């Protein structure tokens, strides 16, 4: 008896956009001259110092200058030159990134950002018209503290200034607002995003209603909250950012400020997608698509080509996540089109790293389409795109981005390997995952690490299912461990969608082990895992994942049924497979439809073996023949062989029953 399992792979999508800027009081910001999208632009994040030297400088940040090696002193001198900071400011900047555990590949970008903040802080702390002697003295002290890299002392001085100015708010409203915003910039420099958001909130409250400064401070507040939600998995902050972006679009209307309005809409779409990607429903994702499409109406190719490309990329991300949850492929096809549009501006020659990021996202969409098709053309195309992207986004240049690409490449190789009788693709996927987690560590990027563990489990499970003996069992046990480790980060409260997908895959590995060992305890664990997944995936909110979990629940019930003398479990399995086929239609997802038909046939065949007639066996034959309409020897040889063997066994049993019936009649 041969069955087909359905594991869910996880893909990482890159968020792209210009580097955030956090403004002090200044003239109105327009998209073509300063407004920016969420997400760092990796193409502009280098200061010409190898990240190995930066890592060493961060590690030695607490040493006295006299205790540093000549090489470390040279790095400090080089950073002084590159960042245009003094020695104290360089040491303070290293302290900030060290305390915040900034990943090595982001050190250069963060140090450059901090250096820019130093310059802005020094300019902003200058004396203003209307300052009295006390404030002037405190500002001079704040400037000296900033010059000396003593940001905590500078914050104390600014807090004192803020208190004085607040007491005379009618006269010094804008000055007080600016000082609050300066404290927000200080917090951003120290990567304390929630503190920064609070300071910008205070700045906006002090600025006159309707002023450009107030809008700028509110925008900075939203950006800080988004960073907290995106980088630290803080869903409360992510929700708050969404509300802020909504209000920004109302404060600067499309008619009066079309490009600022469009930027607010695009950033809203990005924030909605980040949060919606973690949840099982689709409401946030649908709203994200609407918001980004609104932005595209103003970001025309002639007016704002790079902003338009960024919006196309972000639109593609939201469409892919929606497409994963729907039975059809229209959203995924739309996403492919959006990514190809983005690549018209994000060319390999002009923006090589941005091009690589977009190639990876395009490959993700192609892989998702290929997952549902019986052929392998889309999957092969995705593999080529991942490999090309890795030529630009190399491990040496951007190790974390390279690791994410390896994770996605591995997921696609697993899907190809599942359709082939050999194991070369699967072994390659295992290698890709093991290399990826050397860069994408749990400490550095916990959710991406969890994604790698899930996909490693998928590869090991497929290999283990094909290998007999102790080696195969060891692979399956390792897969179970990988899924359980992933669930330490993918909790239902934090990432309900990923939690449900991981429960589904854990159930598959437990079910395969239970079948191999004849262990009903493992099989019952598998049933529990699948039912847990179905608590998160409803047919309405996530029909594709719901159908897969139904299919896999059927497999576990079927396996338990083979160990019982009765037929209850097998009847439950048949019901589960038929539920799955309500969504996994041949028109929507031909490959999954064929898999479910094969599995339904196996359950019917097992029931038929326990009955005297041939009705169930005839139903099984019909199901296997349906499966073979999609499985073929060239494109999916492993599945084709599986369904063919099942069909032959069912036909042989029918022939045997008929022969026995004729023999009885002759007696």
d(CA 316, CA 296): 13
Looking at residue 452, what DSSP letter applies? H
The answer for residues whose C-beta is within 8 angstroms of residue 38's C-beta and 6 or more apart is: 15, 17, 20, 223, 226, 230, 267, 270, 271
For the chain, what is the radius of gyration of the CA atoms?
29
User: Domain extents for the chain?
Assistant: 42-417, 564-667
Assigned CATH topology for domain 42-417: 1.25.40
Q: What is the pLDDT of residue 127?
A: 57
CB atoms within 10 A of CB 391: 11
- d(CA 623, CA 642) in angstroms, rounded, equals 13
The pLDDT score that the predictor gives to residue 10 is: 63
The pLDDT, as a whole number, for residue 263 is: 92
User: What angle, 0 to 180 degrees and rounded to 10, lies between the N-to-C axes of helices 70-83 and 87-99?
Assistant: 100
If we measure between CA atoms, which residue out of 315, 399, 393 comes closest to residue 355? 393
**Which of 214, 201, 264 has the alpha carbon at shortest distance from 30?**
264
Q: Running DSSP on this structure, what letter comes out for residue 350? A: T
Among 558, 602, 551, which residue's Cα sits nearest to residue 578?
Answer: 551
Determine contact, residues 541/557, Cβ cutoff 8 Å: no
- With a CB cutoff of 8 Å and minimum separation 6, the contacts of 77 are none
Query: Quick one: pLDDT at residue 7?
Result: 58
Taking the C-alpha atoms of residue 339 and residue 518, their distance in angstroms, rounded to an integer, is: 48
Q: What is the pLDDT of residue 343?
A: 96
Query: Any idea what DSSP says for residue 128?
Result: -
3-class secondary-structure state, position 491: coil
Helices (H), 128-251: 133-147, 151-167, 169-189, 193-206, 212-232, 235-251
pLDDT of residue 41: 35
Mean pLDDT, contiguous 10-residue spans, the chain (667 residues): 52 51 28 31 56 86 86 89 87 89 85 86 67 80 84 88 68 78 90 94 87 90 91 87 93 91 95 89 94 96 94 96 88 96 95 95 95 90 96 93 94 92 92 93 87 93 91 96 96 91 94 91 96 91 89 93 90 96 90 92 94 92 95 87 94 89 75
């Amino acid at each position: 008896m041969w069955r087909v399992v359905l594991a869910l792979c996880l893909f990482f999508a890159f968020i792209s956009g210009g580097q955030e800027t956090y403004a002090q009081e200044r003239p109105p910001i327009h998209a073509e001259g300063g407004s920016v999208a969420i997400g760092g632009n990796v193409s502009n994040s280098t200061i010409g110092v190898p990240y190995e030297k930066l890592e060493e400088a961060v590690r030695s940040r607490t040493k006295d200058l006299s205790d540093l090696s000549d090489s470390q002193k040279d790095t400090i001198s080089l950073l002084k030159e590159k960042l245009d900071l003094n020695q104290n400011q360089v040491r303070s900047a290293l302290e900030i990134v060290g305390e915040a555990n900034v990943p090595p590949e982001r050190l250069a970008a963060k140090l450059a950002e901090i250096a820019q903040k130093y310059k802005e802080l020094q300019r902003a702390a200058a004396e203003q018209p209307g300052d009295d002697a006390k404030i002037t003295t405190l500002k001079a002290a704040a400037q000296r503290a900033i010059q000396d890299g003593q940001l905590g002392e500078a914050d104390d001085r600014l807090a004192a200034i803020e208190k004085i100015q607040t007491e005379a708010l009618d006269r010094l409203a804008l000055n007080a607002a600016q000082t609050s915003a300066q404290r927000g910039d200080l917090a951003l420099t120290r990567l304390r995003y929630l503190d920064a958001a609070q300071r910008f909130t205070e700045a906006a409250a002090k600025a006159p209603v309707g002023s450009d400064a107030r809008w700028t401070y509110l925008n900075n507040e939203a950006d800080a909250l988004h960073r907290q939600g995106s980088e630290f998995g803080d869903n409360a902050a992510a929700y708050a950012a969404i509300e802020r972006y909504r209000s920004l679009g109302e404060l600067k209307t499309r008619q009066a400020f079309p490009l600022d309005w469009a930027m607010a809409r695009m950033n809203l779409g990005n924030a909605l997608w980040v949060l919606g990607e973690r949840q099982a429903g689709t409401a946030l994702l649908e709203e994200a698509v609407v918001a980004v499409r609104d932005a595209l109406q103003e970001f025309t190719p002639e007016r704002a080509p790079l902003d338009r490309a960024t919006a196309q990329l972000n639109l593609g991300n939201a469409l892919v996540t929606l497409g994963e949850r729907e039975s059809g492929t229209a959203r995924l096809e739309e996403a492919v089109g959006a990514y190809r549009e983005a690549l018209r501006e994000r060319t390999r020659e002009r923006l090589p790293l941005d091009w690589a990021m977009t190639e990876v996202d395009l490959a993700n969409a192609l892989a998702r389409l290929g997952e549902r098709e019986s052929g392998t053309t889309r999957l092969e195309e995705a593999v080529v795109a991942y490999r090309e992207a890795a030529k630009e986004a190399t491990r040496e240049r951007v190790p974390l981005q390279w690791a994410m690409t390896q994770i996605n490449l591995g997921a696609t190789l697993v899907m190809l390997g599942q359709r082939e009788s050999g194991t070369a693709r699967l072994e390659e996927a295992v290698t890709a995952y093991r290399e990826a987690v050397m860069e994408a560590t749990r400490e550095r990027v916990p959710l991406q690490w969890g994604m790698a563990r899930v996909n490693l489990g998928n590869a090991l499970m497929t290999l283990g299912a094909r290998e007999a003996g102790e080696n195969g069992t060891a692979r399956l046990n390792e897969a179970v461990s990988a899924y359980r480790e992933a669930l330490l980060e993918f909790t239902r409260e934090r990432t309900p969608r990923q939690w449900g997908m991981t429960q589904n895959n854990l159930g598959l590995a437990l079910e395969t082990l239970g079948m191999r060992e004849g262990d009903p305890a493992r099989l019952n664990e598998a049933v529990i895992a699948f039912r847990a997944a179905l608590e998160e995936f409803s047919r309405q909110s996530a029909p594709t994942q719901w159908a897969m979990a139904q299919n896999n629940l059927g497999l576990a019930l079927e396996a338990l049924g083979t160990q019982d003398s009765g037929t209850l479990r097998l009847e439950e399995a048949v019901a589960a497979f038929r539920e799955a086929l309500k969504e996994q239609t041949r028109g929507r997802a031909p490959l999954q439809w064929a898999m479910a038909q094969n599995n339904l046939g196996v359950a019917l065949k097992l029931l038929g073996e326990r009955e005297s007639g041939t009705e169930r066996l005839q139903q099984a034959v019909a199901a296997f023949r349906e499966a073979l309409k999609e499985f073929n020897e060239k494109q999916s040889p492993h599945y084709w062989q599986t369904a063919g063997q099942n069909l032959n066994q069912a036909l042989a049993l029918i022939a045997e029953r008929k022969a026995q019936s004729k023999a009885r009649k002759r007696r």
